[in-house]
Structure 1
Amino acid sequence: MRLADTENIAAYIREWWQQSLPPLRGLVLAGGKSQRMQTDKGRLRYHELEQREYAAQLLAAVCQDVHVSCRPDQLVDLLPGLTPLPDRFLDLGPMSGLLSAMQLDPNAAWLVVACDLPFLSEATLRHLVGHRNAGKVATAFRSPDNEFPEPLITIWEPRSYAVLLRFLGLGYSCPRKVLINSDIELLAAPAPQELRNVNTPEERKAAQQELSGKSM
């Protein structure tokens, strides 16, 4: 290519950059105890599928493969076709699943999605992946409720593994604290309402009513 051929040079650089990115793998966080919901949130059905299966299906559209993070005692309840990833770090909340994924493949980036997000769409995940900055620790959406990042709809790059372990060594097991205090790409969500967590029976009832209304 000639030096003046800036368009083709730029296209070549973009293609090279995309090919050199760490692979993107998906992780559904479904290992929580769901104490406020009083039943396993991953097994609820807001759509035709269980939530953990629904989230895995969304991730499969943008990731090379998908694992479902779960407690060892949940393995017997996992549906066929879902790939389990039992927690290797216990009693750390979402950090348990995240660190277990990093330990499984520390050279991959992990797109993490919680199982209690029934409004989440493939379009929102594609927006996140399309604006991924692999040069940062992570790429995350800004919460619609405050200026903080949402840690459970986030792409965690390979370099985040050491950062997560360092914070854990300091006594912090909250992924949001890691994001707040790290060099990340923070995005405005294209559809902020999709980041809404459903954690209680009352919220579940309201979400089911809203979603059933949309499908009519």
Structure 2
Amino acid sequence: MLAAGARAELTDNISFARLDVKRPLDKFSQPELVQHQNLVLINGNHFRAARQLVILDPAKPLEKKLDRLTDVRALLLPEGVTEVPAYLRAHLGEANVPVLPLADTAAIAELVLREWHAAAPPLRGLVLAGGRSQRMGHDKGKLAYHGQEQRAYAAELLAPFCHDVHVSCRPDQMTELEYAGLRPLPDSFADLGPLSGILSALRLDPNAAWLVVACDLPLLSKTTLAHLVQHRQPARMATAFQSPENEWPEPLITIWEPASYPQLLRFLALGYSCPRKTLINSDVAVLIPPAPQELRNVNTPEEAAQALDSIKK
């Protein structure tokens, strides 16, 4: 079909899909194609890589390619090769680079897995507090279930698990949050509900994972948050709890990985501004909550009174 003039050909063999396109792979299209991959292996003879696994092939000496070896993570010895050349040792200097037999696939796989875990994106925190609280009648983030405003209480809950914690807000809320000692993050995406805050956080730091919690979860505990963080799966687009009301993921207490940013924007471009819609149709980890009652949203004065009564008990 491509030879006949088609621009793209999609082959679906049920168990896998293949897309052949007649366009060059430039610096913009390549990241787009590999954005859902956690590991990409490239041929270091032709392309530069961030981290290198070096195979010491006697037929391809490395003297003229030392400038490419900027971050060697392992030297792999094929059968018959027993020593690392002196020029390579001199180039690596004091770096403690492991040397493994090329045939020891288990050890190589363990090394790659270790590297991958160490490279997991840092975790930052976000409290969603920029809503209008129309059903409550006044700002839900200012309610005090635990002796302080709920938005501040939620930020304290997140702090032990995150490098820092921001409070998502409307631009007109920034001053009051700063006076309260919180770190405001004004919405840079307008009128999208909770998605405004999530996208604004990912825009601020697209290389971090964001632990996002809504401010209307007064029953949420550190134990439940710890369970979410401990079972985080950075290889997936997100890690979320299953809603106590149905089998769907709960988007407002979720770890959103960097890969979620282009996916959320993609769904927004298709007309979907509901973060749950993105979770349902993406590769995410969904956990059973250890205490389902803690995921109960409080949106009305009646629900707030019930939640306060539960906390007092």
Q: Same fold (TM over 0.5)?
A: yes
Matched, 1:56 2:152: no
In the other structure, the counterpart of 1:147 is 247
Partner residue in 2 for 1:101: 201
Residue matched to 1:38: 137
Within 5 A, what are the aligned runs for 1:59-70?
59-70=158-169
- State how far apart, in whole Å, the 2-side matches of 1:13 and 1:162 are: 26
Amino acid across the alignment from 1:96: S
In the alignment, which residue of structure 2 is the partner of 1:167?
267
1:19 aligns with 2:141: no
1:90 is aligned, of 148, 170, 190, to: 190
For the residue of structure 2 that corresponds to 1:209, the secondary structure is helix
For CA contacts below 8 A with separation 6 or more, give which structure has more relative contact order: 1
CA distance in 2, matches of 1:129, 1:120: 14
1:81 to partner: Cα distance: 2.2
| 17-26 or 165-174, larger mean C-alpha shift | 17-26
The Cα of 1:209 is off from its aligned counterpart by 1.1
SS in 2 for 1:61: helix
**Counterpart AA for 1:76:** T
Cα RMSD for the two superposed structures:
1.9
Extract structure 1 runs of 4+ deviating beyond 4 A: 12-17
Match of 1:195 in 2: 295
Quick one: distance in 2 between partners of 1:105 and 1:164?
15
- Identity of counterpart residues, as a percentage? 66
* Counterpart amino acid of residue 19 in structure 1: A
Unaligned runs of 5+ residues in structure 2 are 1-97
Q: Which residue of 1 aligns with 2:221?
A: 121
Deviation of 1:49 after TM superposition, in Å, equals 1.5
Mapped to 2, the partners of 1:130 and 1:15 lie a distance apart of 17
State the shift of 1:13 in Å. 7.4
> SS of 2:126's equivalent?
strand
In structure 1, stretches of 5+ residues that fail to align are none
- Number of equivalences: 209
The CA deviation at 1:76 is 2.4
User: What secondary structure is seen at the aligned counterpart in 2 of 1:85?
Assistant: strand
CA distance in 2, matches of 1:95, 1:75: 18
> Partners of 2:142 and 2:117 in 1: how far apart?
36
Deviation of residue 136 (structure 1)?
A: 0.6
Deviations for 1:138-173, whole angstroms, at most 9, x for unmatched residues?
Answer: 000000110000000000000100000000001100
Give the structure with the larger helix fraction.
1
TM-score computed with the length of structure 2 as normaliser: 0.64
Moved more, 77-86 or 175-184: 77-86
1:182 equivalent in structure 2? 282
Q: Distance in 1 between matches of 2:116 and 2:225?
A: 20
